[in-house]
Structures are given as structure tokens and as C-alpha cells.
Amino acid sequence: MVEVVGNLHLHTVYSDGALPHAAVAAAAARAGLDFLVVTDHNVRVQGLEGLYRIPDGRQVLLLSGEEVHDMLREPQRNHLLVYGAGREMAPAAQGQPPQRLLDAIAGAGGLSFLAHPVEAAAPWAGEGEFGWDDLDVTGFTGIELWNTMSSVKMMLPDPVRGVFALFFPDLVMIGPPPQTLRLWDDLLRQGRHVVAIGNADAHGAVYRFGPLRKVIYPYEFLFRCVNTHVLLDAPLSGDPAVDGPAIYRALAQGHAFVGYGLPGNPRGFRFGAWLGNAVTAIMGDSTPLTGGQTLRIAAPAPARLKLMHDGVSVAEAYGQELIYQPTQPGVYRAETWKRYRGRERGWIFSNPITLTGPAERIGNT
Ligand SMILES: [Zn+2]
Ligand SMILES: [Zn+2]
């Protein structure tokens, strides 16, 4: 497996972002990312996909996606990240129920992720709340488990904490919102394949507070924070027509994890099901529960490792490895928490491995 690290939610001057594509790509290359998917609001910008290189030789692949919502709806909630649909999906959202949009994206062969599904407003900063309302929809690929800017906004209920966050941005980042983790576990427990991704939602906006003028959360800083690590069958070629579909295929399968880069580089993390010396399933996969099977978490640095089964912690260890012998079918996922700047912070969140039993329970009556 080849691990590539990217960010799948950011804005440019084509919507409410501060920088054009090339400058955003340069920031991503400096931050060490392998790929970016630009998601401007209700516009799929074409003609700018490709490989971007900075003077020191580092390069990043830039792809075009879209963040779609119904602009006729008030409040303008239900933001949806769209990848690989091959066409503009915003028109399918206007004045339509979200299910209609999800069906149109699926029909176009695209992926859809509920963006920042749980939020809180910061009214003193003019920041509204744009969570996801209609949780009875079906057919979406996954959810944005950790959106850096959205999770920061949730930590800023008043201007004092807002200014604090401006100068100590990493101190207010603790992990994905607990409500979003709960939502994900609930969906997984229903037996649904819901893939988690983690992104920046970078805008590079300038914030004015009295005499202060500061770019809040610059692109490059955010690209060092929460990203999505994708496991591919082959290295990136540099051709967006080849790499885009490969990345989206792996994402749809859930061959991915969410990593927060500041406490330590999450590259190299693995979560798999093993039988003897062979890996029988990686994150995102399903495999039958059998005797002699183990689930293994391998972290690139010591951390608190946690194995979750159907939303409940079943094993915990401090170190770089956790090995568990499952006896129950269900959905297993891995979390790691790492100390950074005075407290433990969410570090890595894997997509789940489903161990299927001899028979699937399809109802509870
Ligand atoms: Zn949004
Ligand atoms: Zn956004």
C-alpha cells in the first residue's frame, strides 16, 4: 500500500478564499502534502487540475471538487463535499431536498461527504452554524469527521477565547467534535458504510479585531494540521485523470484515516485484521470473523491507542502497538491520542474494519 496525504476541503478566490489555486498549492507543497482537492462553494472550477511544483522540488497534485449547498434555503445549512462527479453538481442542489442531490451525485459516479455535520455558531464573530439537518438521507459516501476550522469555531463561544485562538491556534485544537464521533458511531452501528475524512476548510481570511489585523489560520498552517491519509495500490503518477479516480476509489472504500500533524507525523499509522502473518483486511474493509484472527493498531510514535467496537472502547494501551483478539462481530475502529502542548489531543482516527458474523441480524424484533 502507498500512503498519500491530502486535504479535501479548502477555498480559493473562486469562492470565499483569499488565495488563488497556485498559491494554495504552494502552501500545500511546503506543508508536505501529496494532494489537494479544491472545494469552492457551488462552483467546480475547471482547467486548473494538475501537478504543482515549488522551487525546492516538492510537488503536490491539485484536483477539483466542490462544496455544494442549496442557496435558496435559509439558514444555508447542509454543506456537501463532492468529488469525482465529473460535472458541476451545484444546480442539482438549488431548491431541492438533499436526497435529490445525493442521488444525482451517485448517478454521476461521484462521492459525497457531509461537511462539518455538527457545528456551533460564534455569533460575536459573525460566524453562523452550518451543520447537517437531514440525517435520514442515504447514499452519501461519508462524513467530515474533523474539520479544523469548524472544530475551532466550536471552541470560541466568546471574543476573549476568540482572540486567544488567534494567537495560540493549536491550543484550541483538541480533537474531532465528540458529537460528530457519536454521530459516526451511530451510523456505523446501523451497519452503514460511512467513510470518515478530515480536512482544513481553509480560507486564509484576514480577521480584524480593533487595531489587530491577522490572517486567521493561514493555508500552510492548516495543511500541517488535520488531513486525510489515503492508502493506494500504486504511487501517484502526477496525471490527475489517473490519480483522481485512484484516490476517490480508495476513499469510497474507506482505505483512509484522519491524522492531526502537529502532535506528531501520523504517516505510517496502520490498522488491520491479521490471520497469522497475513493482513486479511485494512481499514474500510469487511471480513468474516474467524478464530485466530487479530486486530492490530500500529502507530508511528508512542501514543494512547484505543480500539472501539460498535462505539464502545474495548481495548486501550499506551505505546506503538495494540493487538486484540476479537470474539464478536461488529464494527471496529482505532483512535490514538497524543500529548501535545499540555494536554492529550486527538491524533489519528482510522476508518473501521467490519467483522461479519455467520448471519447478519437485520432487525431487532
Ligand atoms: Zn461549509
Ligand atoms: Zn468550506
Q: Which residue type sits at 157?
A: P
Q: Which ligand is in closest contact with the Cα of 127?
A: 1
Check: CB of residue 222 under 8 Å from CB of residue 168.
Answer: no
Of 327, 330, 320, the C-alpha closest to 352 is 330
| Distance, CA of 87 to CA of 92 (rounded, Å) | 11
Q: What pLDDT score does 360 carry?
A: 61
> Could you tell me the residue ranges of all domains in the chain?
2-260, 270-356
Q: How far is the CA of 308 from the centre of ligand 2 (A)?
A: 29
Q: Compute how many other C-beta atoms are within 10 angstroms of the C-beta atom of residue 215.
A: 14
| Distance, CA of 181 to CA of 196 (rounded, Å) | 10
Q: How far is the CA of 266 from the centre of ligand 2 (A)?
A: 24
- Residue 363, phi then psi, degrees to nearest 5: -165, 170
Going 30 to 36 to 41 to 45, the CA torsion angle's sign is positive
DSSP letters along 282-308, please? ETT-EEE--TTEEEEEEEEEEEEEEEE
Q: How far is the CA of 133 from the centre of ligand 1 (A)?
A: 13
Q: How far is the CA of 17 from the centre of ligand 2 (A)?
A: 9
Q: Which ligand is in closest contact with the Cα of 77?
A: 1
Q: How far is the CA of 39 from the centre of ligand 2 (A)?
A: 7
Of 285, 127, 98, 262, the C-alpha closest to 207 is 127
162's torsion region: left (phi>0), alpha (psi -120 to 50) or beta? Answer: alpha
Q: How far is the CA of 52 from the centre of ligand 1 (A)?
A: 25
- 275-284 confidence digits (pLDDT tens): 999 999 999 9
DSSP state of 122: B
Fold of 270-356: Immunoglobulin-like (2.60.40)
Q: What pLDDT score does 361 carry?
A: 59
Q: What pLDDT score does 352 carry?
A: 98
Which three-class secondary structure state does DSSP give residue 214? strand
Q: In the chain, which ranges are continuous DSSP H helix? A: 21-30, 98-107, 148-153, 159-167, 178-189, 219-223, 240-253
**pTM: predicted TM-score of the whole model, two decimal places:** 0.96
Fold of 2-260: TIM Barrel (3.20.20)
Q: How far is the CA of 352 from the centre of ligand 2 (A)?
A: 25
In the block, which residue shows the cell 474494519? Answer: 353
Q: What pLDDT score does 205 carry?
A: 83
Going 34 to 40 to 44 to 48, the CA torsion angle's sign is negative
Of 184, 351, 334, the C-alpha closest to 253 is 351
Q: How far is the CA of 287 from the centre of ligand 1 (A)?
A: 35
| Distance, CA of 271 to CA of 228 (rounded, Å) | 15
Low-confidence ranges of the chain (pLDDT < 50): none
Q: Which ligand is in closest contact with the Cα of 222?
A: 2
